[in-house]
Amino acid sequence: MIKFIYNIKYNIMKFKKLLLIAISFLTIFTGNINTLKADEGMWLPLLISRLNYVDMQKMGLKLTAEEIYSANHNSLKDAIIQLGNGCTGEIISPNGLILTNHHCGFGKIQEHSSIDHDYLTDGFWARNYSEELPNPGFFVKFLVRIEDVSTQALKDIDKNLSESARATKITDNITEIREKAVEGNHYEAIVKSFFGGNEYYLFVMETFKDIRLVGAPPSSIGKFGGDTDNWMWPRHTGDFSMFRIYTAPDGSPAEYSKDNIPMASKYYLPISLNGVQKNDFAMILGYPGSTNRYLSSFGVEYNLKNMYPTRIEIRRKKLDIMAADMAADKNVRIQYSSKYARISNYWKNFIGMSNGLKRLEVADKKRDTEKRMSAWINEFPSRIEEYGQLFKDIEDAYNLLSKYSLEIYYYNEAISTGAEALKTASLFANIEKELMKEKPDKEALAKEISRLNIYSTAIFKDFNLPTDKKLFSAMMLMFHANVSLEQQPEFLIAAAKKYKNNFDKMAEIFYAKSIFASQNALSNFLKNPDIKTLQKDYLYQAAIAFGKNHNKSIELTKVANEKLDKANRLYIDILRKMDSQKTFYPDANFSMRLTYGKVLDYVPTDGVKYNYFTTLKGVMEKEDSSNNEFIVPQRLKDIYNSQDYGLYGEDNTMKVCFLTDNDITGGNSGSPVINGKGELIGLAFDGNWEAMSGDIAYEPELQRTISVDIRYVLLLIDKFANAKNLINEMTLIGKAVN
């Protein structure tokens, strides 16, 4: 029986309202963000009572700060998880049921898929616990507590220390902090740098490793719109999937076992059936990955000239090769779907980022800020002494990095994440090192062999030899054609000469004689590894040659990166001191953050205005049976035609997605969108094209978070999949049974 609760909060600890008004204006983070608004910023939950609570109340928050984050009592933060693949999820039942995005679960759905059981195409729904599918190697983390450890981390740090000496001392200090935090418990302690190394915070985490796939709609729903709609609005994607956490019978974290039981949730999110309206309060808790809001103008120009065009070009080539083979073979389509999606997502992101930074003249705006910074520095001799070299150091560092940028980005995109056989070969250096010893350590060798057996089994499950050879050939050609000869490994130069730049022929010969081209060959090698076979392998020779060559570039740019580390710290330090009355938030770094704002429409350009929501009608209008990105399942059409929306519709309309002005980035995928009462109203899954520069420059009038309406998720679980077993374990709030 579905539980319905009216006008009350469910599962939220009842704490007395904190007397915060008197201290709300005490700030810890201060700096130079002249356009800062309440809806901008990725805030540490630990600090919202001091920095944000009054603003949040004015916007519609009904909870106390302690109901959002508490280290001593159950709170919203106990329902938020960091997924092992870098996404966010939330607990939505007493039994450890996880809700996240379809694209976050895509890799696991794909791993369980085959031609006989194509869950990517058909979807998957477990009707009971016994049907839920294990995912070896997958894990989730809960935040236990956050602590400001800046004083301990920066103990005995002198401003005259070199960057390397400073880093060593801080590392030693952090080791002490971490060891103390995990003494006598099973937690993990992570200390993260904030504001370029000006502050440090401890995050104590608890990890669970038995995570099972529970449900996912077909890709025609969970990935509706594909690459065409990615990063775009209006959006009509049912981007969700479901997992469950299992524990040992005593509730403790445990590896997979048939004896494990569903987790007894400390806290789970109740789900609102009331929907959203324009200007409603909305907050998001999650794990945003990385932003660089305080990047200098030099950094912006460097990215536009070096990083983005290089990565866009290489990724486009990889996508073209994969797409052609996926279209020709259904098995290859399944094998490469997840890889293609990962590459494509940020290929388009880089394009949007580049366009946005140029269109919004971000470098020019940063130069204006830097002129103010220079004037501030020059006001006093003491500032000149401490900061006078800042901008010259930044410029010199980027000039040096520019000389090696092509090799660095080509290695990362074309070699390290290019052909999988080459990547696999690069992982065998430790085997060679051990075998070269006069008396190899049998235990260490066995451990490495076990690790590589597990890795290779996973790789070859989704490996297509013709596709990988094409990728190898194309990446070798691009590297040789675009990276300066003095920065190429001699191995590649010699091979290009030997094969007269016929890289297809080179690939055929390399793969024909390589143990890394087939699972059987590699498995047989690992049963009895010998150094001669490994060292004679062409792919291994190539991997080692590229790796050594890349290490030279890293070493030659070490001084530039050390200058930038120091410059970034000083740059942010100036911003905070220059406008100390301003509230200042730290860049994202895969730590839990809260962002708050409103449900809003937006005007992307003159004469165009986008509504804040989309409906199922738009799905039908986009249908194109000749395009895999816009196929609509017949069952969904039937629901639309009958308007059988049950509790989830709104005046005979089924809303699908909506917009807020929350400040998110990669890593927030799957994050819960929560209303002022602490109820789940949607899942964040994307940003909008017009604000793709948001990782570097937040534009409040343009930046929007795209979320799937939780009621559409429920409709799909209930009416489309008939998975009422899942609906029955949730707590739904607001709308009465018809």
Q: Which residues of 590-617 are buried (b: 16+ CB within 10 A; e: fewer)?
A: bbbbbbbbbbbebebeeeeebebbbbbe
pLDDT band at 328 (very low <50, low <70, confident <90, very high): very high
Q: Tell me the residue type at 532.
A: K
Of 265, 55, 291, which Cα lies nearest the Cα of 142?
265
Inter-CA distances, 161 with 167, 169, 257, 373, 386, Å = 9, 10, 51, 24, 13
* Interatomic CA distance for residues 709 and 718, integer angstroms: 15
Query: Rounded mean pLDDT of the chain?
Result: 93
In the DSSP assignment, the letter for residue 303 is I
The pair of structure tokens assigned to 699 is 């534009």
Task: Note whether 518 and 421 are within 8 A (CB).
Answer: no
Segment 363-422, tens digit of pLDDT: 999 999 999 999 999 999 999 999 999 999 999 999 999 999 999 999 999 999 999 999
Higher local confidence (pLDDT), 415 or 31: 415
* Interatomic CA distance for residues 516 and 529, integer angstroms: 13
Q: Please determine, for residue 159, whether its predicted confidence score (pLDDT) is greater than 90.
A: no
Overall average pLDDT of the 203-210 stretch: 98
How many CA within 13 A on the CB side of residue 640?
17
Segment 624-670, tens digit of pLDDT: 999 999 999 999 999 999 999 999 999 899 999 999 999 999 999 99
Q: Please determine, for residue 49, whether its predicted confidence score (pLDDT) is greater than 50.
A: yes
* Interatomic CA distance for residues 615 and 613, integer angstroms: 7
Segment 93-127, tens digit of pLDDT: 999 999 999 999 999 999 999 999 999 999 999 99
Element counts in the chain: helices (H) and strands (E): 29, 23
Whole-number pLDDT of residue 14: 35
Whole-number pLDDT of residue 29: 37
Q: Please determine, for residue 36, whether its predicted confidence score (pLDDT) is greater than 80.
A: no
In the DSSP assignment, the letter for residue 274 is S
Task: Note whether 497 and 488 are within 8 A (CB).
Answer: no
Which domains can be identified in the chain, with CATH numbers?
Answer: 3-139+209-292+587-733 (2.40.10.120), 141-207 (no CATH), 297-558 (no CATH)
* Interatomic CA distance for residues 179 and 599, integer angstroms: 43
| Catalytic residue annotation | 103, 239, 669
* Interatomic CA distance for residues 255 and 248, integer angstroms: 8
Of 660, 669, 653, which Cα lies nearest the Cα of 618?
653
The pair of structure tokens assigned to 337 is 């779907």
How many CA within 13 A on the CB side of residue 319?
16
Whole-number pLDDT of residue 737: 44
Matching residue, tokens 């995005």: 101
* Interatomic CA distance for residues 407 and 488, integer angstroms: 8
Segment 691-700, tens digit of pLDDT: 999 999 999 9
The pair of structure tokens assigned to 67 is 């109901």
Q: Please determine, for residue 6, whether its predicted confidence score (pLDDT) is greater than 90.
A: no
Q: What is the dihedral of CA 51, 53, 55, 56, to 10 degrees?
A: 130
How many CA within 13 A on the CB side of residue 324?
10
Of 499, 534, 543, 489, which Cα lies nearest the Cα of 513?
534
Matching residue, tokens 């890289």: 503
Task: Note whether 630 and 624 are within 8 A (CB).
Answer: yes
* Interatomic CA distance for residues 233 and 611, integer angstroms: 10
Q: Please determine, for residue 577, whether its predicted confidence score (pLDDT) is greater than 60.
A: yes
* Interatomic CA distance for residues 95 and 253, integer angstroms: 14
Whole-number pLDDT of residue 736: 55
What is the Cα 284 distance to its own chain's centre? 15
Segment 703-714, tens digit of pLDDT: 999 999 999 999
489 upstream amide cis, omega within 30 of 0: no
Q: Please determine, for residue 502, whether its predicted confidence score (pLDDT) is greater than 50.
A: yes
Alpha helices in 610-696 (DSSP H): 616-622, 634-642
Whole-number pLDDT of residue 538: 97
Question: Residue 125 pairs with which residues in a beta bridge?
Answer: 215
Beta-strand runs (E) in 74-174 = 80-83, 88-91, 97-100, 124-125, 133-134, 140-148
Neighbours of 158 (CB within 10 A): 8
Inter-CA distances, 169 with 75, 152, 163, 334, 563, Å = 36, 11, 10, 48, 18
Segment 602-618, tens digit of pLDDT: 999 999 999 999 999 99
* Interatomic CA distance for residues 531 and 540, integer angstroms: 11
Quick one: what percent of the chain has pLDDT higher than 90? 91
Task: Note whether 682 and 669 are within 8 A (CB).
Answer: no
The pair of structure tokens assigned to 83 is 């997924």
Question: Residue 543 pairs with which residues in a beta bridge?
Answer: none
Overall average pLDDT of the 480-488 stretch: 98
The pair of structure tokens assigned to 177 is 């902090």
Q: What is the dihedral of CA 524, 528, 531, 536, to 10 degrees?
A: -20
Neighbours of 413 (CB within 10 A): 22
Quick one: what percent of the chain has pLDDT higher than 70? 94
The pair of structure tokens assigned to 370 is 């830097």
Inter-CA distances, 479 with 19, 161, 406, 417, Å = 61, 39, 9, 13
Whole-number pLDDT of residue 39: 66
466 upstream amide cis, omega within 30 of 0: no
